[in-house]
Structure 1
Amino acid sequence: MKERKNELIMLGTGNAAVTHCYNTCFVLRNAEGSLLVDAGGGNGVLSQLEKAGIALSDIHTLFVTHAHTDHILGVIWIIRTIAQQMGQGKYEGIFRIYAHDKSIQVIDWICRMTLPKKIVAFLEERILLCEVRDGDSFEAAGMRLQCFDILSTKEKQFGFRAILPDNQTLTCLGDEPYNESNHNYVEGADWLLCEAFCLYEDREYFKPYEKHHSTALDAGRLASQLNVKHLLLYHTEDKTLNTRKVKYTEEAGKHFKGSIFVPDDLELIEL
Structure 2
Amino acid sequence: MGIELIMLGTGHAMVTKCYNTCFLLKKEDEYLMVDSGGGNGIMSQLEKLGVPYTDIHNLIVTHGHTDHILGAIWIIRKIAMMMTAKQYPGKFTIYCHDEVVKTIQTFCELLFPKKFLKFIGDGIYIQEVTDGEQLDIMGIKTEFFDIQSTKKKQFGFKFTFDDGKTLACLGDEPYNEANKQYIQNCDWMLSEAYCLYADREKFKPYKKHHSTALDAGKCAEKLNIKNLLLYHTEDTNLENRKKLYTDEAKSVFSGNVFVPYDLEKIRIK
Quickly name the TM-score band, shorter chain normalised.
over 0.9
Report the AA paired with residue 156 of structure 1: K
Query: What is the distance in 1 between the residues matched to 2:137 and 2:30?
Result: 8
Cα distance, 1:90 vs structure 2: 1.2
Cα distance, 1:228 vs structure 2: 0.7
1:182-193 pair list within 5 angstroms: 182-193=179-190
1:176-215 pair list within 5 angstroms: 176-215=173-212
| Partner residue, 2:267 | 270
- For the pair 1:88 / 2:90, whether they are aligned, the reply is no
| Partner residue, 2:147 | 150
Pick aligned residue for 2:130 from 129, 133, 140: 133
Percent of counterpart pairs with the same letter?
56
Pick aligned residue for 2:169 from 172, 176, 199: 172
Report the AA paired with residue 51 of structure 2: I
- For the pair 1:237 / 2:230, whether they are aligned, the reply is no
Task: Give structure 2 stretches of 5+ with no counterpart.
Answer: none
Cα distance, 1:115 vs structure 2: 1.1
The answer to whether the 8 Å contact 1:12/1:40 transfers is: yes
- For the pair 1:249 / 2:218, whether they are aligned, the reply is no
Query: What is the distance in 2 between the residues matched to 1:196 and 1:190?
Result: 19
- For the pair 1:220 / 2:217, whether they are aligned, the reply is yes
Query: What is the distance in 1 between the residues matched to 2:243 and 2:46?
Result: 26
After TM superposition, the score normalised by the length of structure 2 is 0.98
Query: What is the distance in 2 between the residues matched to 1:207 and 1:44?
Result: 27
Report the AA paired with residue 52 of structure 1: L
Query: What is the distance in 2 between the residues matched to 1:7 and 1:221?
Result: 26
Query: What is the distance in 1 between the residues matched to 2:152 and 2:84?
Result: 35
Cα distance, 1:166 vs structure 2: 2.9
Query: What is the distance in 2 between the residues matched to 1:128 and 1:110?
Result: 15
Pick aligned residue for 2:99 from 102, 106, 114: 102
The answer to whether the 8 Å contact 1:143/1:163 transfers is: yes
The answer to whether the 8 Å contact 1:32/1:142 transfers is: no
Give CA-to-partner distance per residue, 1:154-187, whole Å, 9 cap, x none.
Answer: 0000000001233210000000011100001000
| Partner residue, 1:163 | 160
Query: What is the distance in 1 between the residues matched to 2:162 and 2:261?
Result: 25
The answer to whether the 8 Å contact 1:25/1:39 transfers is: yes
Report the AA paired with residue 239 of structure 1: T
Cα distance, 1:31 vs structure 2: 2.0
| Partner residue, 1:261 | 258
Cα distance, 1:32 vs structure 2: 6.6
Query: What is the distance in 1 between the residues matched to 2:52 and 2:160?
Result: 24
Structure 1 segments of 4+ aligned residues over 4 angstroms from their partners: none
After TM superposition, the score normalised by the length of structure 1 is 0.97
The answer to whether the 8 Å contact 1:192/1:228 transfers is: yes
Cα distance, 1:258 vs structure 2: 0.6
Q: How many residues of Structure 1 are paired with residues of Structure 2 in the alignment? A: 268
Report the AA paired with residue 154 of structure 1: K
Task: Give structure 1 stretches of 5+ with no counterpart.
Answer: none
The answer to whether the 8 Å contact 1:66/1:157 transfers is: yes
The answer to whether the 8 Å contact 1:32/1:141 transfers is: no
Give CA-to-partner distance per residue, 1:112-170, whole Å, 9 cap, x none.
Answer: 00111111110000000100000011112221110000000100000000012332100
The answer to whether the 8 Å contact 2:29/2:55 transfers is: no
Secondary structure of the residue aligned to 1:10 is strand
Give CA-to-partner distance per residue, 1:177-219, whole Å, 9 cap, x none.
Answer: 1110000100000000000000000001111001110000000
Report the AA paired with residue 160 of structure 1: F
